[in-house]
Chains A and B, each alone.
Chain A
């Protein structure tokens, strides 16, 4: 896990691209604002939540070079906390989400400190094992509603004013949350911390020899990633009004890794594209039932063996080559 192919940090485009880049941004913003009037908002929100979840995984996989197979812990854990706070304790939507995020951050720090003692495939195994343990705890705990989960979570009023029962209002809120989460990830990647994190991924012994205590950098990356996964999971609760065992299950952990890989790890937009592809595929192929798993498996194999950069990574590489740099 020391070297990730195609995991180039985003480089600033030349100034000649500045104007067209601005235009693209405006167009994208307009499309995002108009989207709920064209597509089914719940579907869009699902994509956004998973885009954020995949962004969290990407922060860890694409930039720290750490592959976690237990991230459903933070997604689903925050979902339970948020659902419980909202439904059983009657907290406001925003406070419930923050509670979910806080839970994931703390839980992420603790489990992160445990997992980062190993590296490579062993790291992945530890996260998988911890995830399974957490799944079992959720299954047994009375607070999570066992097999039923926590259902019919009321959406409520955001900041005491905005009615989230309205799908379009909720969409804009989810869009804002996702945008915030992605900006936070982008900032972390392009920060002094992000530079050291990249250095550790590139050559851990060298980073150590320069005096960096790498364990703390990995732990912080893990914590930030868990917190973002929690933000995605807690927000998802408001959309589906449900927190369930599916959210903390191993397939959920696998799916989000798949989204990250398909979209392109180590790229900012990769997780969004990956989430859109996988979520819409699940949607349109809902009839094929069990076969969906087979199809996802094939996509996984194809990505890992043929398009290691993922969709966004491949496009970016072609554009770079086209410009001759």
Chain B
């Protein structure tokens, strides 16, 4: 059980025209755990996410999901394998309503997404589930609002609801609480905790109190390389970690 890693990267490396953004990263995320990936700005966290979800092709290294090599898998197929990501810059469908945003994710399970001859009304059975998901993130009141009109924090919450709509086995959350007010952060933390049993979560987060609250294990990334790994207590007192943050002139904002 201790060696049960759902996600594993081996020597994951990505270069951008000579600049190595991610350098030989060996990441192991234990099944049913919440694993935080932290590090100063530009450390390569988002690039790691892009590599793992195959939005970027690694320069070298391998990625294994549940023991299966997904290094050559297409990004849409990674999602179909049950690993779904969110984006650092909130990713929604702005001209659709909140409800429609969630429906887009839900309707994949119906297997009718190519049915161009059917009415959209055939999606009605999804409505109840979509409303429940919106309610979970505190957005039921905005169900019929066009997303472009929502404030940033609510867009983030919607993105989380949309991600959860796929009921993924593994979630990659890129700064899920960024841009949220205190209350929304608390709600999001509670929600992540609530959905975490039976799921595996890899999370990039700058808010260290959220990290302390939620994560079972933490990996610190700096300049594309793994600097330290361990539980919050060990990481927060590690002098190398402190230096990495200070050196960048970026004190950890708690």
Contact = CB atoms under 8 A, between A and B. Distances in A.
B50 to A, nearest CB: 10
B240 interface: no
A160 interface: no
A58 interface: no
A192 B110 CA distance: 10
Given A208-B76, A209-B75, A210-B108, A198 B95 contact: yes
Given A187-B117, A209-B85, A211-B79, A192 B96 contact: no
A193 B91 contact: no
3 tightest A-B contacts by CB? A211-B79, A202-B93, A193-B116
Interface string B9-48: 0000000000000000000000000000000000000000
Contacts of B123: 192, 195
Interface in B104-136: 104-105, 107-108, 110, 112-120, 122-123
Instruction: Tell me what chain A mostly uses at the interface: helix, strand, loop, or mixed.
Output: helix
Interface of A: 3, 7-9, 187-188, 190-196, 198-199, 202-203, 205-214, 216-217, 220, 224
Nearest to B104: A199
B94 interface: yes
Contact of B116 (A3, A208, A211, A220): A220
A51 B46 CA distance: 47
Contacts of A203: 91-94
A208 B79 contact: yes
A194, A206, A210, A220 pick with most chain B CB within 10 angstroms: A210
Nearest to B50: A205
Nearest to A212: B76
Interface residues of B, number: 38
A307 B12 CA distance: 49
A211 B166 contact: yes
Given A187-B118, A192-B115, A207-B104, 12 more contacts: A192-B112, A192-B122, A195-B104, A203-B92, A205-B87, A209-B75, A210-B104, A211-B84, A212-B76, A212-B108, A214-B76, A216-B114
Contact of A206 (B74, B80, B91): B91
Contact of A191 (B84, B96, B108, B117): B117
B79 A209 contact: yes
Contacts of A187: 116-119
A192 B107 contact: yes
A209 B113 contact: no
A208 B116 CA distance: 19
Interface in B77-91: 77, 79-80, 84-87, 91
